[in-house]
Amino acid sequence: MSAAAAIHSVNHSATVTDLKSQRLKTDKPHAMGDNDSTPQMNGKGPQPIGSSTPTASLITGYVGFDTLPNQIFRKVTRSGFKFNVMVVGQSGLGKTTFLNSLFAGEIYGEDTRARLHQFHKTVVIEPHTVHLKEGKVTLELTLIDTPGYADSLDNLGCWKNIIEYVDEQLENFLNSEAQVNRDEICDNRVHSCLYFISPNSHCLRPLDVECMKQLHKKVNIIPLIAKADTLTPEECANLKQRISNDLKKHSIDVYEFPELYEEEDDKLTNESYKKRVPFAVCGSLDLTKRGEKPKRVRRYKWGTVEIDNLEHCDFLCVRAMLLSYHMQDLKDRTINKLYESYRKQKLSKATGDSRKNASFDSKNPIGILEEERKNHDLKFKKMEQDMQRLFDKKVQEKLKHIQDSENELKAKHEQIKKNLDEQTKDLEEKRRQFEKEKAAFEADRKSTMDDLKSNDQKKKDKKKGIF
């Protein structure tokens, strides 16, 4: 709920209180002894729950449930509101200045701005939470910046960290809902994504198309043309038309602002603002005195640009549509459509049977958990059996491999033994042949020695005979 909506609720509650006091004056209960001690209704009293025919009569006496809006207003203003905004766009498009202008103050401190303006090789997700108060309404605002997006030479896959962050917040909330204690569930789901488009591009770049195609089913995208003061009115109108055509061509669902059914002036304003999507914006905190009220302007040599002037840019439209008219609708769409779609998809996958998804919504959560447990047990038993079969198969293969190795070794052993036996026989044969040759050699040698000795003896005897 925005500040404007809160003020509207205050006015409504004051009106309700006035009506209550008037009815108390005109419809005072009679004494207990009087015949008219019970407040008279128009024919019948309030229709009981479960009655077959609904009542069409008006209550003439004061009952008190017309203060329900006042009760809700007191409750929500006491607890405060939470709004999470993601800002996506390359550096130098004036995102920080725009946010400071949007919330009329320095949302980012010097340290935070210096850190965001550093060069990052990859996309870094930087959540920054501030607490704002306007009148009696407090707002916990979380700004999720994405420094490093589209700043590298190779930007392939630079949107993946953004998608992972959005999915992580949805997953965390889903897990928190499944816990037994749900008293303190922190809702960090992204309610809106302000996607800044460079004014220098003639249409949506392939990077913009791919990133928004990945995001549009998970977050409310609001496209913004940055630095609108660098475009002429004709260039701005042409760029808006080309961007709208590209969004339609690539089936990208950006957030469609709903109609208003309250006051006629707000309804007409809302309709006129809706026609200006995608919004061309610029920001500034530089105040200058123009007429009765100071205005925020951007100063140039050729003149000044008033950011609150609809003839100069659409900043006023964005602030009104985002904060005053449709902040609660952005949260409701995130909760009731985007998150529910994500939740159903995740839980449907958990069932493991796509044929049961059609009746998934009508099942009891306890029954679903029990069914999931049974399916898990069956799946585990089947997995265990498969693992046992695989183990047995591996064991048989190992045993067969060992047996084959053993047979191969035995065959090798037999072959080696056979070869050794053959070599032994050959050696024995050679040894016998050697012994035979040795014996023949010894005999021949002995005979030769005997002949030599006999010849020496004969020579000696001959010499003796001469002398």
pLDDT value at position 406?
A: 92
Task: Determine the pLDDT at residue 51.
Answer: 46
pLDDT-derived band of residue 249, with 50, 70 and 90 as boundaries? very high
Identify whether the C-beta of residue 243 lies closer than 8 Å to the C-beta of residue 278: yes
- Rounded-to-integer distance, Cα 287 and Cα 212, Å: 35
For residue 331, the model assigns a pLDDT of 93
Q: What integer best gives the mean pLDDT of the chain?
A: 79
Q: What is the mean pLDDT of residues 402-429?
A: 92
Q: What mean pLDDT is predicted for residues 184-194?
A: 89
User: What mean pLDDT is predicted for residues 349-359?
Assistant: 55
Q: What is the pLDDT of residue 391?
A: 92
Residue 465, pLDDT > 90, answer no
Task: For residue 158, give the DSSP letter.
Answer: T
Q: What is the pLDDT of residue 5?
A: 41
Q: What is the mean pLDDT of residues 148-170?
A: 84
Q: Can you give the pLDDT at residue 359? A: 52
Mean pLDDT score, 232-261: 91
Question: What tokens does 147 get?
Answer: 């420094």
Condensed to tens digits (0 to 9), the pLDDT of residues 272-303 reads 888 888 999 998 888 887 667 788 888 888 88
**Residue 372 pLDDT level (bands cut at 50, 70, 90):** confident
* Those residues with Cβ within 8 angstroms of residue 269's Cβ, 6 or more apart along the chain or in another chain: 320
Q: What is the pLDDT, as a whole number, of residue 424?
A: 92
Mean pLDDT is lowest, of 12-16, 115-119, 167-171, 394-398, for 12-16
So what's the pLDDT on residue 395?
Answer: 93
**How do the residues of the chain divide into helix, strand and coil, expressed in percent and rounded to 5?**
55, 10, 35
**Both structure tokens of 7:** 């003020």
Hey, CA dihedral for 274, 279, 280, 286, is it positive or negative? positive
SS3 per-residue string spanning 418-455: HHHHHHHHHHHHHHHHHHHHHHHHHHHHHHHHHHHHHH
The region of weakest confidence among 54-63, 278-287, 295-304, 349-358 is 349-358
Confidence label for 218 from pLDDT (cuts 50, 70 and 90): very high
What is the reported pLDDT for 24?
A: 39
Q: What number is the average pLDDT over the span 339-343?
A: 91
pLDDT for the residue 287: 82
Lowest mean pLDDT among 114-128, 335-349, 399-413, 441-455: 114-128
Note the pLDDT tens digit of each residue in 198-213: 998 888 898 999 999 9
User: For the segment 4-43, what is each residue's pLDDT rounded down to a tens digit?
Assistant: 344 344 344 444 344 344 443 434 433 333 444 333 444 4
| Torsion, Cα of 53, 55, 56, 62 (10° steps) | 180
What are the φ and ψ backbone dihedral angles of 47, each rounded to 5 degrees? Answer: -65, 125
- Please compute the mean of the pLDDT values over residues 224-241 and round it to a whole number: 90
Q: What is the pLDDT of residue 302?
A: 82
